[in-house]
Amino acid sequence: MRSPPETRYTKSGELNIAYQVVGSGELDLVYVPGWVSNVELMWEEANLARFLNRLASFARLILFDKRGTGLSDRVPNDALPTLEQRMDDLRAVLDAVGSERAALFGHSEGGNMCVLFAATFPKRTVALITLGIYAKRIRSDDYPWAPTPEERELAAVELEEGWGKVDLGYYAPSRRDDEGFADHLATYFRRSASPGAAAALLRMNSHIDVRDVLPTIQVPTLVMHETGDRDVSVEEGRWIASRIPAARYVELPGEDHVFWAAHADVVADEVEEFLTGARPAVDLDRVLSTVLLTDIVGSTERAVDLGDRRWRALLEEHDSLAGREIDRHRGRRVKSTGDGFLATFDGPARAVRCATAVAEAVHSLGLEIRSGVHTGECERRGDDVSGIAVHTAARVASLALPGEVLVTSTVKDLTSGSGIEFEERGVHELKGVPGEWNLYAVRS
């Protein structure tokens, strides 16, 4: 994975707009995230960073924080930006990087500005791509999918009062049980806007209405939408695509509005094929691996007690100790999960011993971890791994007690003769995994 790009600034009127450029493809591609963003924090979430690197593999990728968010200048909450002003920000960034024409990819609220820009400046727009966008954010008789004014105002009030908390069951159901992902997403939002600014921006986007703009778009357009998106109905995606002349419409399976929670690669495949005419050659390899997944017990409470800075420092110490033990046991650290890690090993005994060693090492930091280990077939795609074996290890880890290393019967059987002793932990059903599973805890 490449290093995060340098953050630079350009002037849009009197305001400083933060932007980044990565990749050197002949095509310029601007990714505009929804609502609030922070261009530097984007690279700290493994799935989102992999997605951005995928885009940068075939294009010169341009990122920027919209005025009032992230690293760009703040604006008063009573002087919120219009879509026109945000278009000015985009033009300023394009001019700063010497881009005469670019493809625009807008997610959620970011798609509305891209729609307006593509219709207004077709000579500067190569193509338009949207994902999970709406045309209007307040319900009307001819647009029945949007929330009511009362629902939007209640959402703004609750957002400001509970800023820093994320309802994964709503925004990313596929990761609803992933505390690490929830913590990272909450941190991303907090460092992208203040509570008052976030609520004010939500009220601002409640007034967006680009319905009349859609039929005027002349550039090639791809509209994508996840079928079970709970924040923006798939009916909106279908309606939007039907209003744009010759638009290509793709429905993606899933329920996540935060698309990188589970479907970053699928979205990147669609974008690359649309812009280049070909999908990438998939570097997919199926191998038998032992998967180790861990997470820190009570991480949310510790983060609240310590505060962001001290918690981050403690996580860095945890990561350093864990990385040292993974290397010592000949494992491969695949990625961080926010408050834990995913690693693979070519032998189950090494994975079990590594899990035990990590638990002992981080105990010196006042931390307890729970660990799950399973051996099965994994799909390797580049540096990442996926498949039922990873999912199984995650479910096993979620059942482990504090300080416990919990394994499947597969691991227990494969480590026979290694000297590792186990205690029975009964038969369990693992959510999303077929069958019943005998689980065992490593005896200290």
Domains of the chain: 8-276 (3.40.50.1820), 284-442 (3.30.70.1230)
Burial of residue 236 (CB within 10 Å: 0-12, 13-18, 19+) is buried
Strands 28-32 and 102-107: what pairing? parallel
- Cβ distance 238 to 249 under 8 Å? yes
Distances (CA, A) of 36 to 111, 151, 191, 267, 397: 13, 20, 9, 20, 33
Mean pLDDT score, 422-433: 90
User: Is the pLDDT reported for residue 1 higher than 60?
Assistant: no
Per-residue model confidence as pLDDT tens digits over 81-119: 888 899 999 999 999 999 999 999 999 999 999 999 999
- Cβ distance 251 to 157 under 8 Å? no
Q: How far is Cα 372 from Cα 62, in angstroms, rounded to an integer?
A: 39
Mean pLDDT score, 288-308: 89
Mean pLDDT score, 159-166: 87
User: What is the DSSP code (8-state) at residue 193?
Assistant: S
User: Is the pLDDT reported for residue 345 higher than 50?
Assistant: yes
Question: What is the secondary structure of 244-294 as a DSSP string?
Answer: STT-EEEEES---SSGGGT-HHHHHHHHHHHHHSSPPPP-EEEEEEEEEEE
- Cβ distance 129 to 250 under 8 Å? no
| Res 285: pLDDT | 66
Burial of residue 102 (CB within 10 Å: 0-12, 13-18, 19+) is buried
| Res 311: pLDDT | 86
User: Is the pLDDT reported for residue 174 higher than 90?
Assistant: no
Distances (CA, A) of 132 to 225, 256, 412: 5, 9, 44
| Res 286: pLDDT | 75
Least confident stretch, 31-35, 44-48, 176-180, 390-394: 176-180
Residue type, 279: R
User: Is the pLDDT reported for residue 290 higher than 60?
Assistant: yes
Placement of tokens 């849009």 in the chain: 12
| Res 386: pLDDT | 84
- Cβ distance 372 to 354 under 8 Å? no
Burial of residue 191 (CB within 10 Å: 0-12, 13-18, 19+) is middle
| Res 283: pLDDT | 52
- Please give the radius of gyration of the chain, using alpha carbons only, rounded to the nearest integer: 23
Which is it for the CA torsion 245, 248, 250, 256, positive or negative?
negative
Per-residue model confidence as pLDDT tens digits over 214-227: 999 999 999 999 99
Which is it for the CA torsion 346, 351, 357, 361, positive or negative?
positive
Range list of β-strands (E), 260-412: 284-296, 332-336, 341-345, 369-381, 384-386, 405-408
H/E stretch holding 170: helix 168-171
Q: How far is Cα 56 from Cα 198, in angstroms, rounded to an integer?
A: 29
Per-residue model confidence as pLDDT tens digits over 235-267: 999 999 999 999 999 999 889 999 998 888 899
Q: How far is Cα 311 from Cα 144, in angstroms, rounded to an integer?
A: 44
Phi, psi (5° rounding) for residue 133? -100, 165
Q: In a 3-state reduction of DSSP, which class is residue 216?
A: helix
User: Is the pLDDT reported for residue 284 higher than 60?
Assistant: no
Max Cα distance, the chain (Å): 71
Q: CB under 8 Å to 14, separation ≥6 — which residues?
A: none
Measured between alpha carbons, how far apart are the two ends of the chain, in Å?
Answer: 37
What is the pTM for the complete model shown?
0.68
Q: In a 3-state reduction of DSSP, which class is residue 374?
A: strand
> Sorting pLDDT into bands at 50, 70 and 90, what band is 431?
confident
- The HSE-up count of residue 33 (CA atoms within 13 Å, CB side) is 26
